[in-house]
Amino acid sequence: LFILLSYLEEEEEEGFVGVLQKRSSTMNDEETLIPGGEDGSTTTANTQRRPPRVSTTNSNQNQHQSGVSAFARNSTKKSRNIHNNTTSSPRTSGGLSVVGGFRNPRETFQNIAATAAGTLEDRNTLMNSSSSPRESAPAVVFGATVSDRETNMASLRLRRMTAFESHDYDPIDCDIEEEQLRSRKRAEYQNEEWWKWTLSAIIGVVMGFVAFVVDGLVDKLNSFRFGMAMRLVVGDGENQDASKFYAYISSLFVTCCLAAVAGGLVSYVEPLAAGSGIPELKTYLNGVHLKGLLRLKTLLAKLGGVAFSIGAGLIAGKEGPFVHGGGLVGGGLCSFGSHSLGFKTRRPNHFRNDRDKRDFVAIGTATGVAVAFGAPIGGMLFTVEEGTSFYNSSMLWRGFLATCVGVLTSHWLEQLDFDATDFARAKFGTHRDFGLYTDDEANYSKQYWWYFWEVPIFAMIGCLGGYIGALFVNLNVRVTAWRAKYIPVNDKFRRFLEVIAVAALTFTVMFVFMAASPCLEIPAPLRDGHTNLANELDRFEYGEASKEEIRTDFFSKMYCPEGYYSSYGQLFFVPLSQSFKFLLHLGEVGENGQAHEFLFRFDLLVFYFLAMFSLMTVTYGVGAPTGLFVPSLAVGSAMGQICGRIVNSVSGWILTDVQIDLHAYAVIGAAASLGGATRMTISITVLVMETTGSMQLIIPLMLTIFCAKAVGDRFSHGIYDTHIKIRGAPFLEEPELAGPAGDKLRVNEVMAKTMITIKPRMRVRDLIGILASNDHGAFPVTENPPTKPGEPFELHGTITRNRLLKMITHRIGFFDGNPESRPADVYGYTTAKDRDDLLDKLKQIPFKSPHVAEVAASLSSVEMDSAWIDVSRLMQRHPFITHADARVSRAYRIFRTMGLRHLYVTPDKPLVVGVMTRKDVIQENTSLTLGEKAERIMAERRSSGGGGVDGEAEGADAFPGGANLYSHDYADRFKSKKNEPSSARRGVDERGGGSTANDDWNNQFGDDDDDHRSDEEEDERLPYIPYYQGNAGDDDDDDNDDDHHRGNRDAQNAAAAEDGTENTADTEGSGGNGGFTNISGASIVRRANGPDNL
């Protein structure tokens, strides 16, 4: 096995290259699985996407690569010259002149692909010109690619990344958005928080109903298919061979019909419904947009298709599709509308942004796992560990509520369906999702045990599970490469036939093993004339009330004579989940008679393991909804039983009175197999414990799964991460896993130096031309565009393509004539309600922005020729920036942590106007500062005769700065490129002669009465807290740092008094309020000279 894995490890990357080359070269309709145009139409990479950026003429605002495409920049001079004119592929005819080249709209994809191929060859030649180990050593040290294979993989993945767009989790800080936030009342924040928790509970209720419906459909389909087959098999006639053939043909026809439904829903309804959906959801939650992933028809195809996939007998589970379905439910409910159904609510509309939708999608995925397994805690941990890339405590607690409500709802519905008349006496909490009997019947505290000397054996099983998981991943890569070559996604009919063929193959294997099965005598406790089972228990799980029913359901005779049962058919000719339960639990209530009498033959376990592993490898990736959890668990449970039998045989030679618990080995093996395939740890441990009742195995499970992950990571990535890489999505790993290259490069070595900029006010025709000539996702806004690549320019803000298209569609910001004569009400709102409606029109949820061609067609000739558009108050004012000489790893951390779409690069020495610490942004300081500001504003109004604030007044009118901050003259903000003196800075000493502009809402205002407060009043406001007093008064190294800082600060302020300013470079806090006493978090600690003064 180790030799095979070593070989496959060498071949794995070639398999990757094969898949990526096939997908990149054909650029076929598989691109329907990746983002298309803004209108949601199907697009292909060969018509609207460009190859990876290989020159400095590309824009670093290309969000299709989310900053990652910068690594594709070609390092050879020849490649730069070849690609000098391939900035981006056109969407419509027409060109745009940009710095560094001219975009030819008639350039074909074949030319781009040929150029890219030449570039790839040049890069390979450059990077592999030295063949000796000594010459290639620097590349190894630096962490660069060192072989043709690695270079091909990197280049091909980058080529695929051009087809993906990214989400932007950075809140938009435009003027009108800020105005809306400043006008919000406390009740609105409370209402939004209430809706967060309510929606979480609703997601749980909906997923509980969905799970109940899908489980019911699966049970009905399995009962129909196996019921018909069992009637044909058991009712054998005189000619048994003819009977077998007739039973096989009839059952095969039903199997193919069910598989046709599952395959048709994927091939002809929604291709994204194929597979488990976990790689897609994981990619989405990482910040990559997948077009069509969260559509309503995807939900119907996914959950409906998985029921028919399982009903058709495919080696698949429902857990993966339930993850996808849960994300669909969460994302759909939080939108308060539907693009497919064409409606949206006016209120509530709180969560129509990428950040909130991401959290609700994550909550939905957790609920999907919870209702699929009946494991609420495991479901939440699955999302935290494997699903979401942006964890926060609010999402965790709301997901905790959703998973609890979801499992409770599903249990309630199951009990009502089972016996609604006796609901009050029904016992809950005794049923396990993977349990064959209830907890009362099996008494799991007595069923699972282990010995201390078995700990190394469990570790070895974990290592074996890691090897098996890595072998599965590597073989599946080869199968995927073959599938991409011969069954491409664009060939819907072949993909449809493949599902039917795999289902037919699976059924054939199962039927052959059943028909050739040896017959074993039914265990003694189940024979006629014997007493009841397990201490005379007379009721089994969900109505198995007699040994005759247990004998019929668990020990079917099939083609065996009366009094015997089919040994192979017991595992092969039942639903996959049922065979998994048999491996885990059969024998727990004494069905097998003697304690050391095993129910499964050793050869049966080996055949079952090999058959299920092979079919699982082939089935994963087929064009039907399929999950991996149950197949992997079933394979692992057989492996665990095999290992347990071997250990039992060996231990019998040494310790004759030791009894090995095969049920424990089956659970351990199942966890090892799933951990080796997926590389999850904590969530698998909890899921296995919750679903099997094996709390006693917590330590062996943890050790086993850890070993499985450690060994599996040696040979490959997990199956989900592997398929993400095959897709070519720009998935950002955690910074610790990003590799060493980012530490050895600076930002200016990977950034794009040429950008397409727009002006804050420009003709609509010019803006349409820019949007039509490239597919960039955002544009810097500036009055003075750069004249050459890399030239610094004044960044006024940035605005996304989608927002521009929405503005043009709804004629927002339009005006006629000279920009200097722009009317003040260019945005067309006068009340808070109008403002909120305007912002709601610009949101991408639930309605996406149309394609630029549709927008251009909707404009009249007059609008196209004479209309101007003003974007100044709707652009992002405060985009994230980084220094040009910063390390790439620093930029990577910013992208990964903040969920950015673009990151702009500043010169090495930017201007600084202040400094902040955590004490300045902490809630206590900001709330006090806001109160002081409001108090000062009210005082000014009273002194001017304006009176107080009416409680019913609009917030924007009641709070200066809430309206028209930049609407009077946009250019005023950028009149001077130098910083304004003293009064605009923090820390101006107004009592020293400085003046404060009362209408400048950015100034800090203090409390006029601070100087008159007594020590008693100060003590009453801020009572003594020993912890903070000790924090403030004690110094770890006894060097009296605070006094030192205060002395330095006094000296600096005295020196600065000559020019009328106070030094603000305080390394401990920047909460100074220019002469007024600002009670900030930093000043509270600094003033703490004793309990009385705190």
Beta partners for residue 781, in sequence order = 758, 797
DSSP assigned state of 523:
P
Please name which of 836, 835, 829, 797 lies closest in space to residue 974, comparing C-alpha atoms: 797
Averaged confidence pLDDT in the chain: 76
Beta carbons of 61 and 780 less than 8 angstroms apart: yes
Q: Longest Cα pair distance anywhere in the chain, in angstroms?
A: 115
Mean pLDDT across 1079-1090: 40
pLDDT digits (tens, 9 = 90+) for 497-547: 999 999 999 999 999 999 999 998 888 777 766 655 544 444 444 444 466
Rounded Cα–Cα distance for residues 387 and 380 (Å): 10
Distances (CA, A) of 863 to 767, 809, 829: 12, 12, 21
Cα(879)–Cα(755) distance, rounded to whole angstroms?
A: 15
Q: Which tens digit of pLDDT belongs to each residue from 811-841?
A: 999 988 776 667 777 888 888 888 989 999 9
More confident residue, 118 or 362: 362
For position 887, what pLDDT does the model report? Answer: 92
10 Å CB burial of residue 159 (0-12, 13-18, 19+) is buried
Least confident of 13-27, 112-126, 493-507, 654-668: 112-126
Rounded Cα distance, 840 and 849, in Å: 13
Spatial separation of the C-alpha atoms in residues 548 and 9, rounded to whole Å: 51
Q: Which of 875, 893, 783 is nearest to 61 (CA)?
A: 875
* Angle, alpha carbons 693-697-698 (nearest 5°): 100
Phi/psi-derived region of residue 239, left when phi > 0, alpha when psi is between -120 and 50, beta in every other case? beta
Which string of b and e fits 454-482 if b means at least 16 CB within 10 Å?
A: beebbbebbbbbbbbbbbbbbbbbbbbbe
Distance CA 771, CA 777 (A): 9
Contact 985, 1061 (CB under 8 A): yes
User: Residues 116, 52: contact at Cβ < 8 Å?
Assistant: yes
pLDDT band at 115, cuts 50/70/90? very low
Q: Which two tokens mark 368?
A: 């999907």
Q: Looking at 320-374, which runs of residues are DSSP E strands?
A: 337-338, 343-344
What pLDDT score was predicted for residue 827? 85
This prediction's pTM: 0.78
Q: Which two tokens stand for residue 31?
A: 């691109």
pLDDT, residue 487, reads 93
- In tens, the pLDDT along 425-453 reads 777 776 777 777 776 666 666 678 889 99
Q: How far apart are CA 613 and CA 600, in angstroms?
A: 18
Residue 1072 is predicted with a pLDDT of 40
pLDDT band at 253 (very low <50, low <70, confident <90, very high): very high
Which whole-number Å values give the CA distances from 450 to 67, 460, 665, in the listed order? 51, 15, 9
Strands 904-906, 881-883: pairing is: parallel
Q: Dihedrals φ, ψ of 781, to 5°? A: -110, 125
Kindly state the percentage of the chain with pLDDT values over 90: 40
Q: What does the alpha-carbon distance between residue 569 and residue 555 come to, in Å, rounded to a whole number?
A: 9
Element (H, E) at 816: strand 814-816
Lookup: tokens for 535: 């201490």
Cβ-proximal residues to 734 (8 Å cutoff; 6+ apart), any chain: 896
Question: For a pLDDT cut of 70, what percent of the chain falls above it?
Answer: 68
- Can you give the pLDDT at residue 513? 94
- Reported as a single tens digit per residue, the pLDDT across 177-220 is 988 888 888 899 999 999 999 999 999 999 999 999 999 999 99
**How far apart are the C-alpha atoms of 273 and 617, rounded to whole Å?**
19
Q: Distance between CA 568 and CA 510 in Å, rounded?
A: 9
Check: CB of residue 780 under 8 Å from CB of residue 795.
Answer: yes
What is the rounded average pLDDT of the residues 325-340? 91
Q: Which residue has the tokens 């039998």?
A: 645
Which pLDDT belongs to residue 694?
A: 85
Q: What is the pLDDT of residues 1010-1029, one digit of tens each?
A: 444 444 444 444 443 443 34
Q: How many CA atoms lie within 13 A of 233 on its CB side?
A: 23
Which pairs with CB-CB distance under 8 Å and at least 24 residues apart come from 930-936? Answer: 932/1004, 932/1005, 932/1006, 932/1007, 932/1073, 932/1076, 932/1078, 932/1079, 933/1004, 933/1005, 934/959, 935/1005, 935/1007, 936/1005, 936/1006, 936/1008
Confidence band, pLDDT 50/70/90 cuts, at residue 592: low
